[in-house]
Structure formats: C-alpha cells, structure tokens
Structure 1
Amino acid sequence: MNRINKKLQEDKKLLSIYFTAGYPSLNDTVDIIEDLEKNGVDMIEIGLPFSDPLADGPTIQKSSSQALKNGMTTAKLFEQLKDIRKTVSIPLVIMGYFNPMLQYGVDAFCARCQEIGIDGLIIPDLPADEYKLHYKETFEKYGLINVFLITPQTSNERIAFIDNMSNGFIYMVSSASVTGSQSGFGDEQTKYFKRISDMHLKSPQIIGFGINSEETFNQAAKYTKGAIIGSAFIKYITENGIDNIGAFTSKIKP
C-alpha cells in the first residue's frame, strides 16, 4: 500500500508541511525533511520551484525565485533525494507545476519518483480531465498518487468527478486566493468546509491555504483529515533558519 494511504488510515489529524526545495540554501532540502519527520510531521510536500508559480503568494514565490537562483533544478532535486528513504519513512509528495515535469519527460519523471520513494504528486495546473486522458496510466504504472485540488468555487458535479478519480486524498483549497494571503477562517470558509464534509466523499480531504496556527489547524481539521501549512513555515525558516524546526511544529500541534 502507498505510504499516503497508510497514513490516511491512522486515527489522527494529519499535519502536512510544504517547503520549497533548495531554500533557504540549495543543500537544505534533506535536512529540512529529516527534521520535519523528527518533529512529528505526518507528511511532507516538497515544492519543485518554478519561474511562474501562478497559485502561490509572495512568500512562496520569493522562496521559489531564491531556490532557482541557488541552482535548484529537477535533476538536482532527484540527486538530493536519492537516499532519502534510508532516513525518512513518512509520505513524501512533490508539488510543482507541470512544465518542468513535461520538460523532464513525464514517464522519466514518474520513474525517478518511484526509484527514490516519492509517494505522490500535486500539480495545480494539470486538469483532472487531462490527467485522466493522458497521464493516469503512467502515474499508476509507477505507483504514484495524483492529488487533485478543489476550491470553494468547484461545483459539486466536478467534486464528484475528482473524488471518483482520486486514489489518495483531495487537497481542499480553503479559499480562492493565493497561498499565504489569509489570517484565519470566517463563516464563508466554515460553510464550505461543512458543505464538503456533508458530501461524504470516498476520498479524505486535507485543507491547505491559510493554515498558520494551532487555531486554524484545528478549525480545518474539525471537518477534514488534517491540514497543510506552506507559507507560514517558509516565513518561519526565512526568519529563523532551519536549526529549530520543532519550535514551529510544536506551536501547531502541541
């Protein structure tokens, strides 16, 4: 069974952390992953930096720009991760835009992910229909879960289609804004969380965008399997470095 599915079966609310590979420094990637696991994180999303990250707010955009300046590439990331399964056992997901994967070659990219021990991919700009038509077979051949995103604007019909296609979890974007642009959840978002919860989808949901504290984590996890933190973590390592990651995670899940 894929590590993501094993993790989803655990009787707990899951904390997933996103960070940009190659940031703050080019060779920080593996240290950050190992420290996050040691500090109780359940799953990690490794951001593959891209020059035109449409869904990302300024914090993640800046980290992507810096990572690219540092020399991060798809090939470099795979080289850094080649021995990651000797030290890390939690699910690892690569999150990135489709262009670098196309440039690398989708089959070659997926094959390398399987070799290294990557469990899934999140590709915000790959539509579910396109995936189903052209790439589903390749992902499944290499044992990779493709994680689809939904937003408050996604219709129930579309959500049902995505749920039917999913073999892991659904990434529930908390709002229509870019990452890192919120400070909490209001009534509108709570209604959205409840609406999706009441649909009783077969796939568990994990909420991302706007999670930055124990309070917002608990708000999100009340209706779903857990939450994803990205911008708040990147802000933390920008300001504090990577030597005391536990000080960040302990504030989210004491």
Structure 2
Amino acid sequence: MSRLDNIFQQKKQPVLNVYFTAGFPFLESTLPVMEALAKNGVEIIELGMPYSDPLADGPTIQESSAKAIANGMTIAMLFKQIRHCRQNPYLEKTGIVLMGYMNPILQYGFERFCADAANAGVDGLILPDLPAFEFENLYGAIIKKYGLNFIFLVTPETAEDRVKKLDSLSSGFLYAVSASATTGGETNFEKVNSYLKKLASFQLHNPVMVGFGIKDQQSFETATQYAQGAIIGSAFIKILSGAEDIEAATSQFINQIRPKL
C-alpha cells in the first residue's frame, strides 16, 4: 500500500493538497516551504517543477515558474534539495507528488527521472501532457517499476467512459479539474458540485481530489462535499510571494483554509 493510499484510508477530514513551485520564492525555499506545510497538517505536498511553457497554469504559477528558473531551479537541483527530505520527522508520512511537463523530463531521461524521484522519497507524478495512450504503451511500466503513483486529470467535459478509463490507469488519486481553464481563475462552485456529484456516482476506484479555484475555507468546504479532498495552488503562491516569514505566513494561510480541529 502506498503512502498516498494510507493518507486517504486514515483521513479524519477532507485531505488538503497544497501546490507550490520548487525554488520559489528563492532557490533554497523548497524544503522550508515543505516543512512549513507539513507542520501545519497538509497531508499532500504537490511540488511544481518549473517549466518555461506551463500550458495548464495561469499567470500566478507561470510567474512563479519563471522566477524559480531565474533562481537556478532545475530537476537535478530539485532532487538534490529533497533527497533526504524523509529524514525530516514532519515529512516522514506526508505525501509528496511532483507536477510538471514531459519536455524537461525527457531531456533529463525518463527512467532516470523516475529512479531519482523514487530515491528522493517522491510518491507520485502528475504530468498533464502525458497522454493515456503513451502511458499505457510506453511510460506506465517505467513509472510502476519505481513504485510511483501516477495521477491523471479529468475535467467537467470528460465523458463517463473516459473518466473510468483514466481512473483505471491512475493510482493514489484522480485529479478532478473544476473547470476547463488555467489555474487560478474564478470558479462557479455550484457547477463544480454538480460535476463532483456526477463523478461520485461513477463509483471510481480512486479518491477524487478537486483543484483549480480553491482559495479559502468556504471554497475548500464546498469543493469537498463530494470529493475526498482539494488542491490549492495559486492562492498559496500569492502568499509565498510576499511572505517575510515562510512558516508564519504558511501557518496563517492553512488555518484560514482548514482551521485546526
């Protein structure tokens, strides 16, 4: 059973997954931000690997990517930074997922990337531009060889048979994008709830995490009425960009999203 499976089995409340860009706001910010998130009860950390052409990301994450690249962040640097992260007691049981795009990974070497990710304690991958066909016929076996979960994305426009197909290929969780748009935009949660209720009726194999547009307690609670958890990205990046004290800013932000029990 994977670490992600354990997180969902043992959850006492909706799971919170927070995304941030590795190497932002400063090159050496990666581990301090991860520790601050874990200290404040975030169950899954989604580490964005900066890329110069992030198609699914809105302006906030695009800007953080550009800043991280300017800071000197690369895939090799990321693995160097996180290779001992599981020795940190706060990060021992926290889910760690890498989100990025295929181009820099292929340049790095796909199997080398999976091996290094596994060695660094990474649990899973989200690669929005890896098609299901290529996953099934080429890359999925390599991902499984190194014990990594792979998370596919579905949208409100994804047909039921396609949702079930992507669910069957996914492990860890299924990422339900709340709207067919880029990250950080406004979200109509009445429509999102109808969509998530429909997904719940499909009796999927994986837990569903909903992302895009979640930024406060109200949107988190609304989004998790019919999903097992939610993903926050752009709203947290905005907090980081102006934070003088990463731990204090993170603690305040997370407590506003999901007040401590």
2:72 counterpart residue number: 71
1:109 counterpart residue number: 113
Q: Deviations over 1:134-170 (max 9, x none)?
A: 0111111100001000001111111011111122210
Residue 97 of structure 2 contacts residue 122 of structure 2 at CA under 8 Å; is this kept in 1? yes
2:147 counterpart residue number: 143
Percent pairwise identity: 45
Q: How does 1:5-154 map to 2 (within 5 A)?
A: 5-11=5-11, 12-87=13-88, 88-89=91-92, 90-154=94-158
In the alignment, the residues of structure 2 paired with residue 186 and residue 165 of structure 1 have an alpha-carbon distance, to the nearest angstrom, of: 27
- Which stretches of structure 1, 4 residues or more, deviate above 3 A after TM superposition? none
Deviation at 1:130, TM superposition (A): 1.1
In the alignment, the residues of structure 2 paired with residue 123 and residue 29 of structure 1 have an alpha-carbon distance, to the nearest angstrom, of: 20
- Equivalent residue letter for 2:7: K
Which SS does the other structure have where 1:192 is aligned?
helix
Q: Deviations over 1:218-249 (max 9, x none)?
A: 11111011000000000011122424110000
In the alignment, the residues of structure 1 paired with residue 39 and residue 243 of structure 2 have an alpha-carbon distance, to the nearest angstrom, of: 18
Deviation at 1:200, TM superposition (A): 1.3
- Equivalent residue letter for 1:181: G
In the alignment, the residues of structure 2 paired with residue 140 and residue 16 of structure 1 have an alpha-carbon distance, to the nearest angstrom, of: 22
Gaps of 5+ in 2: none
Which SS does the other structure have where 2:218 is aligned?
helix
Question: Is 1:208 aligned to 2:211, yes or no?
Answer: yes
Bigger mean CA deviation after superposition, 195-204 or 105-114: 195-204
Please point out which of 170, 174, 184 is paired with 1:170. 174
Q: Deviations over 1:109-149 (max 9, x none)?
A: 00001111100000011111211110111111100001000
Residue 16 of structure 2 contacts residue 230 of structure 2 at CA under 8 Å; is this kept in 1? yes
Gaps of 5+ in 1: none
1:249 counterpart residue number: 254
2:185 counterpart residue number: 181
Q: Deviations over 1:70-129 (max 9, x none)?
A: 000011001001110100121100100111111111100000011111000000111112
Residue 185 of structure 1 contacts residue 216 of structure 1 at CA under 8 Å; is this kept in 2? no
Deviation at 1:188, TM superposition (A): 2.1
How many equivalent residue pairs?
253
In the alignment, the residues of structure 2 paired with residue 253 and residue 185 of structure 1 have an alpha-carbon distance, to the nearest angstrom, of: 20
Please point out which of 223, 227, 230 is paired with 1:227. 230
Residue 94 of structure 1 contacts residue 122 of structure 1 at CA under 8 Å; is this kept in 2? yes
**TM-score if structure 2 supplies the norm length?**
0.95
**TM-score if structure 1 supplies the norm length?**
0.97
In the alignment, the residues of structure 2 paired with residue 185 and residue 240 of structure 1 have an alpha-carbon distance, to the nearest angstrom, of: 29
